[in-house]
Structure 1
Amino acid sequence: MARRSKHHLPQTASQFDADWFTSVLGAQYGAAVTDVKSQTIGEGIGFLGELHRCELTWDRPVDAPGAVVIKIPSKIQKNRSLGEGLAVYEREIRVYSEMRSWLGIAMPEFVYADCDPHPAPWLEPLFVFLFEKLSIRGVSRVLDLLLLIGAKSSRRYLLMIEAIDDARAPQQLEGGSIEDALLGLETLARFHANNWMDPERRDEHPIIWSVGHVPKVAQASYRRNRDAFMSRFGSLIGDQMVAKMDEVQRRLPHLCSLMEREPWTLCHGDYRLDNLMFRSDGETIVLDWQNLSWGRPGWEVAYFITTGLDPYYRSEEQVMLDRYHQVLVEAGVDDYSYSDLVADVTIAKAVLAHRMVAGDDLLDTEMEKSETEFIEVLVKRVIGWVDLDI
């Protein structure tokens, strides 16, 4: 018997043609697409997928998007394997298609999505079981196997969302301003409050992992990347910080467990300046929902501040934490004190710096000179916020 052919699900920009757009959107909008102009807007380092902006010409006046952004998996093998291992492609599709209406935050409009069914859904719980039971050395070997499987995956994914053209995009490499940071923290506080301690929302979607998910994976990655990272960045961060990272490595399971205590909330998972867009009316649009997770809110506050602002702004940290906590309380949260926030942020900053080391072998993918500079800036920025006395 002949194998049934797969339905058409484009995985390259050349396949985003007028006929395909009409086939998936025509019935919804009662019109046909006659022309498509595509432009790649994101790929390479830091991108687990490709982003393509497509301008659409319709055959008649219609209330339909004139431009959309399409996200598909990366063609870079290492990025693709990591994306599969972290389940980011399926997670983002589910966020837009199933969760967008109740997350309580402004994000691009969902237009269309499609993906192949998971060929082996039993693999994830098996790998999690192994990661929890094996030694760090054993976890490292299993991690290699997981990434190998991910790199060979033929599973197809596609997400189509509206193109945002009326908002300002800050530049993370240049470092953010206090004004942008405060706007971002206000939006984050309202998002956290909207999803505060809601087990039904979390548990209904097992693909939402905790921020401290299987810490042995990070320990295994740190173990095999440490020497190369220190050779590259050791002089930049100093001996005291190297010793602090080694201490975090030893304490990581406990520190991660602290980020899973009550009270917890849903976390965006990659809340940084590059994923925010500011409209002139004060609305903040939040992009890139591949890493939606749950955990202590201070984790995400620390992530946002340390990735977006140079340590020069450490003197403004209290102002930023005050603003976040004030908005959180105003939104109805009454079981998370300011001292809780400060304690969580302090721990999270050290764990995030450890992750810079653990992820070092994933940061060298097809880097141009400007991208190398970005990594150096990001390492110096994140590690520069770490408190040595946790």
Structure 2
Amino acid sequence: MNAIAVAGSLNALDAAWFTTILRDAGHTRATVTGVTLEPMPFRGAIADMAVVRLEYEASGDPGPTSLVAKIRGTTPVQAGMDAAMGLYEREARFYRELAGSVPVRTPRCLHVGDGTSTPLLLEDLGGLRMGDQMRGLALSDAERLMDVLADLHARFWESPVLEQDWILSPGEGAFAGMVAQLVGSGVGALRERYSDRAPAGVLDAVATAAPRWGEILERCAEGPRTLVHNDCRLDNVFFRADGEPVLVDWQVLARTRGTQDVGNLLAGSMDVEDLRASWEPLLRRYHDRLCGQGVRDYTWGECVRHYRQNILYPLGAGIALLGHLDIGDDRGLGDAIVLRALTHTADLDSLAAV
């Protein structure tokens, strides 16, 4: 893997800047005396990130000794995606306006910068267990995540909060257009790469459906609507010592069906055989908790049908990771996502549901 340097805009932030920001927000009364920045081992889709190590003077109550700084990336791909989809600003608004009201754990936000010269400063979760999408989602973790997602979705089920125009609608606009274009252009590569590995018939079904992928996305975004993370996959989850999930990367926060999160998580993160054995009891757990939190007029049959449709989402995301978007995939994650999603799509005959 090529070394990733710390962004110049982050290197420009000195101890005095961190002292002012942390004091003004009430996070410390001490003076920051030393700042060390360590690059993350990966580059985000639109952001550059670094771990910030802080030292304080001996007097006064010290603040956090490590933070994560997140700032807009400057590569052409990063800048283009952010300009087209407003990803950095959406995450910044989430932490300013919504993070305090969602019933799920998120990183504590210490500062929301402008994204160009000053960063988003978040709690460093480096001491927690990090989800590994390549390794796959364990059943016990999946069960906890079903509970967390049901709580989130029940809280915002058909909520007026969803009408805010900065919250993404994944079935329309630049986001949907980009995904539909990637699927359409990737069909040939899919056939070449997976002809001897994918379940029989599923590649033909995807090729037939590809020209109308925009319509499929619209169908998958039909109601009932709630607030969804919309990039809910194992790489975006940390786990506390007691197993409680912490969700990160809220750049594509959206209003759509709750099964968007459930389908994306399970079809993109769980190994094929585990998913075959577990998807139905996991979905049942999600639906039962959703109804237990007060959601009405949402039947089990509707939930299953919506799940069958929404597992098509990680398939499109996997195609993007296979090379259409140069965001760094040295692990071969795109390949794993596509195979998992293709197999689950075939198992549940998902394209017949749209």
Category of TM-score, reference length = shorter chain: 0.7 to 0.9
Q: Cα gap change, 1:289/1:11 in structure 2, threshold over 3 Å: closer, same or farther?
A: farther
How far is 1:177 from its partner? Answer: 0.7
1:321 paired residue number:
283
Counterpart selection for 1:189 from 136, 143, 150: 150
Opposite residue 82 of structure 2, the aligned amino acid is: G
Alignment of 1:150-161 (within 5 A): 158-161=119-122
Q: Is the 8 A contact 1:49 1:72 kept in 2?
A: yes
Unaligned runs of 5+ residues in structure 2 are 1-6
Q: Cα gap change, 1:218/1:167 in structure 2, threshold over 3 Å: closer, same or farther?
A: closer
In the superposition, the TM-score normalised over structure 2's length comes to: 0.86
Q: Cα gap change, 1:61/1:234 in structure 2, threshold over 3 Å: closer, same or farther?
A: farther
1:147 paired residue number:
none
Query: Would you say 1:48 and 2:50 are equivalent positions?
Result: no
Structure 1 residue matching 2:184: 3-state secondary structure: helix
Opposite residue 211 of structure 1, the aligned amino acid is: P
Q: Distance in 1 between matches of 2:202 and 2:257?
A: 24
Counterpart selection for 1:376 from 316, 335, 351: 335
Q: Is the 8 A contact 2:168 2:255 kept in 1?
A: yes
Q: Greater shift after overlay, 213-222 or 179-188?
A: 213-222
Q: Cα gap change, 1:165/1:207 in structure 2, threshold over 3 Å: closer, same or farther?
A: same
Q: Is the 8 A contact 1:219 1:358 kept in 2?
A: no
Q: Distance in 1 between matches of 2:76 and 2:119?
A: 17
Opposite residue 321 of structure 1, the aligned amino acid is: L
2:23 paired residue number:
26
How far is 1:42 from its partner? Answer: 4.4
Opposite residue 112 of structure 1, the aligned amino acid is: H
Q: Cα gap change, 1:96/1:292 in structure 2, threshold over 3 Å: closer, same or farther?
A: same
Q: Cα gap change, 1:351/1:245 in structure 2, threshold over 3 Å: closer, same or farther?
A: farther
Query: Would you say 1:228 and 2:225 are equivalent positions?
Result: no
1:244 paired residue number:
205
Structure 1 residue matching 2:311: 3-state secondary structure: helix
Deviations 1:238-264 (A, max 9, x none): 561211212332443443233333321
Unaligned runs of 5+ residues in structure 1 are 1-9, 117-154
1:265 paired residue number:
226
Opposite residue 198 of structure 1, the aligned amino acid is: S
1:208 paired residue number:
167
Q: What is the RMSD computed on CA atoms of the aligned residues?
A: 2.4
Q: Is the 8 A contact 2:230 2:260 kept in 1?
A: no
Structure 1 residue matching 2:145: 3-state secondary structure: helix
Structure 1 residue matching 2:251: 3-state secondary structure: coil
Deviations 1:322-369 (A, max 9, x none): 11111111111122211111101111123432443366443444554x
2:98 paired residue number:
99
Q: Cα gap change, 1:243/1:269 in structure 2, threshold over 3 Å: closer, same or farther?
A: same
In the superposition, the TM-score normalised over structure 1's length comes to: 0.79
2:298 paired residue number:
336
Counterpart selection for 2:11 from 14, 17, 21: 14
Q: Is the 8 A contact 1:48 1:79 kept in 2?
A: yes
Alignment length, in residue pairs? 337
Deviations 1:286-321 (A, max 9, x none): 111111001011121100101110111212111111
Q: Distance in 2 between matches of 1:277 and 1:258?
A: 31
Q: Distance in 2 between matches of 1:107 and 1:355?
A: 23
Q: Distance in 2 between matches of 1:94 and 1:216?
A: 23
